[in-house]
Structure formats: structure tokens, C-alpha cells
Amino acid sequence: MMTIRWPLALLFAVLLLLPLGLQDYLLHMAIQILIWGFVYTGWSVMGRFGQVSLGHGAFLGVGAYTTALLWNNFGLVPWIGIPIGVAFAVLLALVIGYPCFRLKVVGHYFALVTLALSQVVLLSIVAARDITGGSLGMTPNSVGQSSWLALQFTSKMHWYFVALAVWAFGLWVWVKVDRGMGRAAMEAVSEDETAAAAVGINVTREKLRVTVISAAMTAFGGALFGQYQMYLNPETLSGIGVSLQIVFAAIAGGMYSLLGPTVGALLTIALTEGLRIGFGTTLIGAANTIYGILLILFIIFMPRGITGFFGAWTKRRAATAAATT
């Protein structure tokens, strides 16, 4: 594993020094990339094993809204609110996952169940407009100054380092899952559940394990994003739109490699911003159309995503170089 350690250490060094030279706008981009990179990494923890969830927006929404509602209504600080939001998301993952996995709802059917889930959460948030503000969204009560306790910062610099730490934590979780026996078990499960069970793998348990990790990370990312934006909107934090964006980013970036989902975040944020700057408000909603088209292209031509594609490409080049010398 020495091969990936050096570039990674270098990357971290650059990321630690990066904010010194960035204006607020670029810092804002960087923070979003890190938070979404964390969420996409969370999705790929289960997505890479063929557990395709089209409903991660549900976890995002549960995490963000729970945290904000507890803060606004009961004055519970995010340090307590986020764990509770994550716990709710985990509970939701178990309630949906357990019957699906026990009854062998797999592949497309599982994807459809999750798709419905994200929409149920969206509609619930909108329906409970008295407490959530419905489709107009809601704003967490501001303390008016930087406060670690309330997890609100007036300076982008603070947020950058918070986001960086959380993102790094996400990578650590990904590596943990990747190095454990659980990875081999899930590879086996994704290929042949019957054969996996025959060698003693508790298929339902292994699937629930990655689903719960994935849901928890996503809820955490959602809560953090809500805190950062200081504005929660059901369309951006739940429902099909954001759920598909997560899927697109993870697949396009490359869900089989550590940094793939982060590359995906870079791509989606750049795309959204590029469209906003280039076309202003005339093309609102165009991003989703472009995601859709790109997703199709990626699945056909680069199923392992950008990182997977370049990984294979550098390997091929190294092989040809070795062959010619």
C-alpha cells in the first residue's frame, strides 16, 4: 500500500495549505467539493458492491432536517443533533434494508425501493410544512457569530478545515471497509448470494453493515451541508434530484477507487457552477439534464469512472513502456 500513501500525503499537504491562497468564492467551492465528496464516498461504500441506491437523498434529508429542527425547536446543539440525525438515518436504513435483504429484493428492484424512499422523505418534509417550512425551506437560527458549540462559522476558513477533516474521515472509513474481510464478503455477495451463504456468510448482515455505514455518512454530510449553507431546502436535501446527482457523481468519478467519489464531486460542482456562471438563470434545471446524459455516456464508455479509466490507462502505459525497454 506504499504506492498510494505518498501521493495521498502530498495531496493532504496541498489541501492544508490551499485555503491560504484562495478567495472566499473558491473556498466556497472547495468546501462544497469536500462535503459532497464525503457524501459520495459514503454512497460508494455500498454502491461499489452493486448495492445501487437511488435514494440516498432520504438519508441526506433526515440528517439535515433532524439536526436543524432539534436546534431551532429545542435548542439542541448540532453536537447532539447530528448524532441523533445520523441515528434516525441508520434506523431508516435498517427498516428499509432488513426486509429487502431478507426477502432478496436485489438489483433493479432494490434500486426502485430506494428511489421511492427518497421521494417519501421529500414529500414528508414538504407535508410537515408547519415545522419544516415545506418547500420554501428553513433556516437554522443563527447565533450571529462564529461558535464551535452551535457549529456556525462566519469565516469560510473555519468551514474549510471542518469539511476537510470530515472528508478525510470519510476516506478513512472507505479504506477501513476496503481492507477488511468484509470487502471480500461483499464482493462474493454481490456476485452470488447463494454461494456466499454456503460458505457461512450472513448475507443479510453483511449487506446491512455497508448500508448502515453508507446511510450514516450520508446523513452526517447532509447535516453538515445544512449547517454550512444555513438554509435547508427539501429539493436540494432529499428527493430524486439530489439522489441521482449522488449516483452520477460516484459513478462518473469512479466508485471503485478511494478518490473517485471526490473527483465526482469536483465534476458536479464545476458543472453546476459553470452552468450558473455561463448561462445565469436561463438554464435553471439544465444541470440535471446534463447529469442524465453524462451518466448514460459514463455507464457505456467509462463504467469504472474517471479514476478507474485513468488507473487502467496508466497501467497500460506502464506495461507498454516495460515491454518496449
Partner 1 sequence: MLSVRGLTKSFGGFVAVSDVSFEVSEGELLGLIGPNGSGKSTTFNLIAGTLKPTAGSIRFEGEEIGGLAAHQVCHMGLARTFQIPRPFRKLGIRENVTLAAYYGRHGRVGRDEAEALAVEALETVGLPSDAATTTEGLGAAGLKKLELARALSTQPRLLLADESLGGLDVAEMDQAAEMLERIRTEKGITIVWVEHIMGVLMRVVDRVIVLDHGEKIFEGLPADAARDRRVAEVYLGTQH
> Where does this chain bind partner 1 (CB under 8 A)?
181, 184-185, 187-188, 190-192, 194-203
Q: Which residue, 28 or 183, is less far from partner 1 as judged by CB?
A: 183
Q: Which residue, 165 or 184, is less far from partner 1 as judged by CB?
A: 184
Q: Which residue, 69 or 208, is less far from partner 1 as judged by CB?
A: 208
The CA distance from 119 to 242, in Å, is 11
Which three cell numbers mark 43?
Answer: 454512497
Task: Give least dist CB 185 to partner 1, A.
Answer: 6
The CA distance from 160 to 210, in Å, is 28
Task: Give least dist CB 246 to partner 1, A.
Answer: 24
The CA distance from 29 to 34, in Å, is 9
* Integer Rg of the chain from CA: 20
Q: Which residue, 129 or 205, is less far from partner 1 as judged by CB?
A: 205
Q: What type of residue is 158?
A: H
The CA distance from 215 to 210, in Å, is 8
Give, as one character, the DSSP assignment of residue 200: T
Q: Which residue, 37 or 308, is less far from partner 1 as judged by CB?
A: 308
The number of beta carbons lying within 10 Å of the beta carbon of residue 142 is 11
Q: Which residue, 24 or 192, is less far from partner 1 as judged by CB?
A: 192
Task: Give least dist CB 46 to partner 1, A.
Answer: 16
Which three cell numbers mark 260?
Answer: 473517485
What are the backbone dihedrals phi and psi of residue 232, each rounded to the nearest 5 degrees, phi first?
Answer: -115, 130
Q: Which residue, 30 or 201, is less far from partner 1 as judged by CB?
A: 201
Task: Give least dist CB 205 to partner 1, A.
Answer: 9
Task: Give least dist CB 208 to partner 1, A.
Answer: 14
Task: Report DSSP letters for 16-34, one per residue.
Answer: HHGGGG--HHHHHHHHHHH
- Chain centre to alpha carbon of residue 173: 13
Task: Give least dist CB 204 to partner 1, A.
Answer: 9
Contacts of 108 (CB under 8 A, 6+ apart): none
Task: Give least dist CB 238 to partner 1, A.
Answer: 33
